[in-house]
Structure 1
């Protein structure tokens, strides 16, 4: 059986573009989770891996390699899992498959390694730009934290973390919610204690 794996980082993002190439014979697995979370820790990622281990899936399609992850090690680990289980992985935007006539496609391995490295670099660049933006805003006096000695009401605190509340109510773990929402685990625990 064939499968299609779809991932978006937040509930605000649409999956239609990734699902556009879905064929009728594909079972679809959709995760709404950060690419920073390893594939084997995602709810639908785990389900897909279980289906592979049970021999129910032997062909998986993804729209692009960064749907599997944003970390080179995690992507390579997922590819290795598929290879060990003789699963063909097709990456739509590259038009390439991991196996050809039952044999490992070495061109695929090379291209995917490069693309996975680029994906990881993009994530690191994004985080660096974010840190730079905060530093510039602080220098201009635009970005300020709460003044010392003031107490923030629960209502004001929770109003800043609506997305965290949304993921907690959907049943996401504290750790996954922190990664998806780009906040600390301590912040998510504090939100959980106040809702």
Structure 2
């Protein structure tokens, strides 16, 4: 078998070690640093992996968990269908099962993936609903800061989106904006905007 491992983290300050723990020497490694909301086929390493499949360089892929593929159930199932059509087996480490058995789709695998994908999507929706409830409460109490200049998001939404930047600013208040940008993988302008919104929030 021609094996590969796909890993994904959302930001540079996260670590890949846990996902790489089960890596085997013969596996080709594809590491993406990107949000799980981005469709698999639009990610830099996702594109590279799909190209490797088309060139018959891969027929077995391992991932640590389903959410590495994505957060949208339709995108997850589309990616899984693509693998199956190309006779590529997908193994999810934390489930311990494979997408195909003796060359045929494993229906139990697909069912489990569908359930987990839907649960993840529901959790995302719950987070969004709680966020909107918090905004409504802030508005009622006169504490809502409104939309960030140049953005379609409120201050709360903006800071939530860049929560990793907020965390680094709080943990390292004496670091320069340029160094914070390097640590978080964000632009200097983004870090400046986050710092500004934190000061008025």
User: Normalising by the residue count of structure 2, what TM-score does the alignment of the two structures yield?
Assistant: 0.71
Q: What is the alpha-carbon distance in structure 1 between the residues aligned to residue 87 and residue 187 of structure 2? A: 36
Is 1:21 equivalent to 2:6 in the alignment? no
1:93-138 C-alpha deviation (Å, 9 max, x unpaired): 1101001122211111111111111111122112222222222233
TM alignment of 1:73-112, pairs within 5 A: 73-112=74-113
The alpha-carbon deviation at position 90 of structure 1 amounts to 0.2
Partner of 2:121 in structure 1? 120
The alpha-carbon deviation at position 34 of structure 1 amounts to 1.0
Partner of 2:142 in structure 1? 141
1:22-81 C-alpha deviation (Å, 9 max, x unpaired): 111111111111111100000000000000110001000111111101111100100011
Q: What is the alpha-carbon distance in structure 2 between the residues aligned to residue 146 and residue 131 of structure 1? A: 14
Checking the alignment, whether the CA contact within 8 Å between 2:12 and 2:185 is kept in structure 1 is: no
Question: Any idea what SS the aligned residue of 2:28 has?
Answer: strand
Question: Structure 1 residues 147 and 83 mapped into 2: Cα distance closer, same or farther (>3 Å)?
Answer: closer
**Which consecutive unaligned segments of at least 5 residues does structure 2 have?**
150-164, 167-176, 194-201
Q: What is the alpha-carbon distance in structure 1 between the residues aligned to residue 10 and residue 55 of structure 2? A: 28
Checking the alignment, whether the CA contact within 8 Å between 2:40 and 2:69 is kept in structure 1 is: yes
1:166-191 C-alpha deviation (Å, 9 max, x unpaired): 4468xxxxxxx9xxxxxxxxx9xxxx
Q: What is the alpha-carbon distance in structure 2 between the residues aligned to residue 114 and residue 78 of structure 1? A: 16
User: Normalising by the residue count of structure 1, what TM-score does the alignment of the two structures yield?
Assistant: 0.73
Superposed CA RMSD in Å reads 3.0
Question: Structure 1 residues 97 and 134 mapped into 2: Cα distance closer, same or farther (>3 Å)?
Answer: same
Partner of 1:180 in structure 2? none
Q: What is the alpha-carbon distance in structure 1 between the residues aligned to residue 148 and residue 123 of structure 2? A: 34
